[in-house]
C-alpha cells in the first residue's frame, strides 16, 4: 500500500448508516477497515460502494474485547497509523414500557449498544493516544435527547453513547486526538428505507461526506466535541457553502 494512503476504521460499516461513511472515506482515497461478524454481510457492502479497492474486511465481533484488540493488531500489521475511527453501531429494543422490558432484552441492549462502543473506544482511543493523532467519531441518533414512549431504551442507549464520547473528548484534551459526537436530528435515509419520502431527512451518503469532511477539518467547529446536524438543508449548506 502507498504509505501516504490514509486509514479509517468504520465500526458498524456493514450497517445502513455505516455504509454511507465507508463510501465517503473510499471516495476520499482512504483505505477503510470494516469489522464483520459471523453472519458476514460484506457482499452487501461491496455491492453498495462504487470503488471497493480500498475496502478491507476483518472478522471481529465488537462485543468481544479480545476480538477488537486482535482487529487493531491486524490493521497495524498493514499500516503504521490509523487516521480516523468512526462508530455507527447499535440495535434498537422497543415495543414496551421500560418497566415491562424483558431482562434478556436489557442485557442484549447493553451488549449491542454499550459494550461494543466501550470495546472500540478502549482499544482505538488508546491507539490514537499512542500516535498522538487521529480523529474518533461516534454517530448518535436524535433519541439521545428525546423520549418516545415504548422506545425508552433507545434513548437511554443513545444518551449513554453520547456521554461516553463526551467523556473521551474531555479526557483527550491533553492530546492532539480529536473526539466528536455527531448527533443527527432526522431519521437517516438508508438503502433499507427505499425511496426517500421526506426531503428533510439526511441521507447516509451525505452524513458520510460530513464525517469525512470533519476528519479533514473542512467543516466549521472542528475543535468542538459536539456536532449537531438538524436536517438535509443545514447539512447541504455546510457541505456546499456559498
Ligand atoms: N438519526 C438516526 O437515526 C441516527 C443517527 C446516527 C446514529 N444512529 C444510530 O446508529 C446505529 C446504526 O444504525 P443503522 O441504521 O446503521 O443500523 P443497522 O443497519 O442495524 O446497523 C447496525 C450496525 O451495528 C452492528 N452491530 C449491532 N450490534 C452489534 C454487536 N453486538 N456486535 C457487533 N456489531 C454490532 C451491525 O453489525 P452486523 O452487520 O454484523 O449486524 C451493523 O453494522 C444505531 O444505533 C442508530 O441508533 C441513528
Question: Which parts of the chain fold into alpha helices (H)?
Answer: 18-27, 42-48, 65-78, 103-110, 116-131, 152-171, 204-215, 232-239
CA of 217 to the centre of ligand 1 (A): 25
35 strand-pairing partners: 58
What is the residue with the minimal CA distance to atom 2 of ligand 1? Answer: 141
0.75 surpassed by pTM: yes
Average pLDDT, the chain: 95
Contact between 54 and 5 under an 8 Å Cβ cutoff? The reply is yes
- pLDDT tens digits, 17-52: 999 999 999 999 999 999 999 777 788 888 888 888
CA of 229 to the centre of ligand 1 (A): 18
**148: Cβ contacts below 8 Å, ≥ 6 apart:** 94, 154, 155
Kindly indicate the confidence band of residue 4, based on its pLDDT and cuts at 50, 70 and 90: confident
Q: How many CA atoms lie within 13 A of 189 on its CB side?
A: 14
CA of 43 to the centre of ligand 1 (A): 17
User: Ligand 1, residues 88, 115, 145, 182: which to mutate, most atoms within 8 A of Cβ?
Assistant: 88
**101: Cβ contacts below 8 Å, ≥ 6 apart:** 93, 153
| Per-position b or e across 107-132, b if 16+ CB within 10 A of its CB | eebbebbbbbbbbbbebbbebbbeee
Q: Compute, in degrees rounded to 10, the torsion defined by CA atoms 225, 14, 31, 131.
A: 40
pLDDT at 1: 65
Say yes or no to pLDDT of 151 above 90.
yes
- Gap between the Cα atoms of 102 and 26, Å rounded: 41
pLDDT at 38: 74
- Ordered structural domains, the chain, with CATH: 7-239 (3.40.50.720)
- pLDDT tens digits, 72-130: 999 999 999 999 999 999 999 999 999 999 999 999 999 999 999 999 999 999 999 99
Q: Cell match 484488540: residue?
A: 69
pLDDT at 196: 74
What is the residue with the minimal CA distance to atom 30 of ligand 1? Answer: 112
pLDDT at 200: 95
CA of 60 to the centre of ligand 1 (A): 15
Around ligand 1, the residues with Cβ closer than 6 Å are: 12, 14-18, 37, 41, 61-63, 88-91, 111-112, 116, 139-142, 184, 187-188, 190
Contact between 17 and 34 under an 8 Å Cβ cutoff? The reply is no
pLDDT at 194: 80
Amino acid at each position: 500500500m502507498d504509505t501516504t494512503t490514509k486509514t479509517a476504521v468504520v465500526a458498524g460499516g456493514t450497517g445502513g448508516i455505516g455504509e454511507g461513511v465507508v463510501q465517503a472515506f473510499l471516495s476520499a482515497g482512504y483505505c477503510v477497515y470494516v469489522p464483520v461478524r459471523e453472519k458476514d454481510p460484506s457482499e452487501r457492502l461491496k455491492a453498495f460502494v462504487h470503488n471497493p479497492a480500498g475496502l478491507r474486511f476483518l472478522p471481529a465481533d465488537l462485543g468481544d474485547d479480545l476480538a477488537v484488540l486482535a482487529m487493531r493488531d491486524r490493521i497495524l500489521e498493514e499500516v503504521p497509523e490509523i487516521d480516523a475511527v468512526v462508530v455507527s453501531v447499535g440495535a434498537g429494543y422497543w415495543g414496551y414500557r421500560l418497566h415491562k422490558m424483558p431482562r434478556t432484552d436489557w442485557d442484549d441492549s447493553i451488549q449491542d449498544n454499550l459494550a461494543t462502543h466501550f470495546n472500540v473506544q478502549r482499544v482505538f482511543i488508546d491507539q490514537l493516544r499512542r500516535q498522538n493523532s487521529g480523529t474518533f467519531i461516534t454517530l448518535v441518533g436524535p433519541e439521545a435527547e428525546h423520549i418516545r414512549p415504548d422506545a425508552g431504551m433507545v434513548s437511554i442507549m443513545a444518551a449513554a453513547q453520547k456521554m461516553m464520547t463526551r467523556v473521551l473528548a474531555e479526557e483527550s484534551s491533553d492530546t492532539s486526538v480529536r473526539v466528536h459526537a455527531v448527533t443527527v436530528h432526522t431519521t437517516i435515509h438508508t438503502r433499507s428505507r427505499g425511496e426517500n419520502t421526506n426531503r428533510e431527512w439526511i441521507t447516509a451518503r451525505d452524513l458520510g461526506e460530513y464525517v469525512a469532511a470533519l476528519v479533514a477539518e473542512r467543516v466549521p467547529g472542528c475543535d468542538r466535541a459536539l456536532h449537531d446536524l438538524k436536517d438535509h438543508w443545514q447539512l447541504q449548506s455546510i457541505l456546499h457553502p456559498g
